[in-house]
Structure 1
């Protein structure tokens, strides 16, 4: 029987949450019945290429220096689709979605679009293009109920929209007890380590994250921090880091394709975000038995049930985060319980295997049509 051929389109293959999902889902897909192709446009953002190739993905970069040139690649995508016998296109994030809709409008191939963010958070131009073109595709998937509600409220689509919660490979993201990163960074064995894995953008509020650590450190000299990632606000964030005199306390290892060793080093995964879709890094941290303290931004509140799976506060009350963290610092048994609860929550409800099974059913249903 011929394999069903799926083409994923995404703007970049850098170290973002949506990008990280692609190799992880590919590892679990039914390779006997499906074949996966990937097109991206920013050759300098290619951190996920090697992982996709190792997992058996077929990857092509159609270089585009800006969004207009990206859209103009639709003819090359049509040629690729015909040449390789692609059965369905799956687009991620707005600009990949826009070009996928152009392809759908011209050749009628089924196009599935995954929305990772709230419509309210997009630039007005992106929001308007999204609204104008949204119905020129087959199905939209929201990564959380919040995201799906935002689509319905702002776009009023005529096409089907459903929620498909992000997942994590709980067998791959499993704590082993390796403390090598702590040794490399010179963090004491008995320290309590707070962590985050993020693109350095304004919604992550990493300047505020550092301020929270500074406040916690006033009462707890054994607290350290690790922030894995990079991004446009790096200069501003590191200036705050220096101004707060946290240079030997909070560590910035940079952009990493393998984040598991850093989760191993963390006790508490802390997020101060102002908004989120459903963050992959949060699920990965929970799978690695990191206790969670966070604002309840976006999909976070769909994952973390306050005082059950972790501790949360309202987005605009992020200054409560030090108090919530102190609860876990003061009670090692409670910290241990929340670590265990985090792992149990993702294993039971946010397994990547479940997400992949649902995706394959969606693909098969459209291809049969």
Structure 2
């Protein structure tokens, strides 16, 4: 008789970020496939979603902060062992037989617990990682590694010397009922954007990876062709001040609004005319999948796993990275041609519904879980 699978996912937090959404949507997909799972994290707003789905959440204090430099180190050590004890109790309580970790610290927990309980560890690599940072070596520690795109998989094989048979590509899939938006956020009213103005949105952390300077330079070119244009940059990060300064120097302050972190991202997305990403590298962005299923035409850079999702001209537009001229040209085409926008929206929606949903993602993960259990 085959063993009943019970999974413990460990993620740094369950706030609104890529790994947290993947953990949530995977847990929901597993439940719909009649498989029990538990999510452990340091907390976040998505706990409400887990509770509404009847999925247990275990709090582990891995992200508690201390402003005192003297006590900071000791606090990290204390929190680490405190979290480890909580996870040990949870494995026993829920009779867990597969561990699934999503980020470096959760992976370290997973490796220790895998050794102690003699149960397999599955790891998800959500992005393309550099070998320069030694902490990224933890992504080689699983019995099986799930890469969210083929490019992420190849990075692990080529740069981290992971055996080909150890790493498998499973594209992210989203819970359609979670992300399909009905209500709007009235963000046009909030930011003074008129109904006849074209609204482009970027939803991203304000960090170097997202190459928002390239987007702003493309926007400067675009404003010379389109005069009824507005942009919302939704998110926060260490480059915000620098990007706001660049906006001023490019004379785009009247066009661009920085919203900061928002809890109503999906509702804001529902107001957009175009979704854009200018990233230098990616795994497979959840925000892109969310835009597509909400019928927003997308213009994005051809990096990471994005070309595995987007067929340019069919369900979105791909542009080279670090190329503001091409980005401006493609944005202009989508703005100026209504028939293209409509075609992109319809095909994007159908792509997500048929291929990138969380039920299919969960089925593929189940095969991985069964494989690692069979190898034990």
Shorter-chain TM-score category?
0.7 to 0.9
User: What is the DSSP-based 3-state SS (H/G/I as helix, E as strand, rest coil) of the residue aligned with 2:122?
Assistant: strand
Structure 1 residue 111, shift from structure 2 partner: 1.0
1:130 aligns with 2:138: yes
- 1:24, distance to aligned residue in structure 2 (A): 2.9
CA distance in 2, matches of 1:141, 1:49: 24
Please give the alpha-carbon distance, in whole angstroms, between the structure 2 residues aligned to 1:278 and 1:95.
Answer: 21
> Which segment drifts farther, 75-84 or 334-343?
75-84
The equivalent of 1:91 in structure 2 is 101
| Aligned match of 1:23 | 24
Report the Cα distance in structure 2 between the residues aligned to 1:114 and 1:222, rounded to whole angstroms. 42
Please state how far the C-alpha of 1:194 moved relative to its aligned partner: 0.8
Return the alpha-carbon distance in structure 1 between the equivalents of residues 32 and 190 of structure 2.
38
TM-score with structure 2 setting the length: 0.86
Residue matched to 2:69: none
Q: What's the RMSD between the two structures over aligned residues?
A: 2.7
Flag structure 2 segments of 5+ consecutive residues without an equivalent: 65-71
CA drift of 1:300 comes to: 1.1
- How far apart are residue 150 of structure 1 and its match? 0.9
Moved over 6 A (4+): none
Q: For 2:223 and 2:145, how far apart are their aligned partners in 1? A: 44
* Partner Cα separation in structure 1 for residue 305 and residue 293 of structure 2: 17
Taking the aligned partners of 1:155 and 1:226, their CA distance within structure 2 comes to 37
1:213: how far off?
2.2
Contact 2:33 2:362 in 1 (8 A): no
User: Normalised by the size of structure 1, how large is the TM-score?
Assistant: 0.87
**Retained in 2: the 8 A contact 1:38–1:60?**
yes
Deviation at 1:149, TM superposition (A): 0.9
Q: Is this contact kept in 2: 1:119–1:154, CA < 8 A? A: no
Matched residues in 1 for 2:153 and 2:321: separation?
A: 20
1:300 aligns with 2:310: no
CA shift digits 1:81-137 (9 cap, x unpaired)? 2233222111002232222112212321111110011133x642223x337xx24x3
Contact 1:38/1:59 (8 A) holds in 2: yes
Per the TM alignment, residue 154 of structure 1 is displaced from its structure 2 partner at its CA by 1.9
Aligned partner of residue 108 in structure 2, secondary structure: helix
C-alpha distance in 2 between matches for 1:316 and 1:290: 23
Deviation at 1:364, TM superposition (A): 4.3
Residue of structure 2 equivalent to 1:58: 56
Unmatched tracts of structure 1, length 5 or more: none
Residues 274-297 of structure 1, C-alpha deviations (whole Å, 9 max, x = no match)? 000011111111111111111111
Pairing 1:40-51 to 2, within 5 Å after superposition: 40-41=41-42, 46-51=44-49
**Cα deviations across residues 321-342 of structure 1 (Å, max 9, x unaligned)?**
0011111122122122222222
Give the aligned partner of residue 127 of structure 2. Answer: 117
1:156 is aligned to: 161
- Change in Cα spacing, 1:148 to 1:331, as seen in structure 2 (3 Å) is same
Q: Residue 193 of structure 1: CA displacement?
A: 1.1
Aligned positions, number: 361
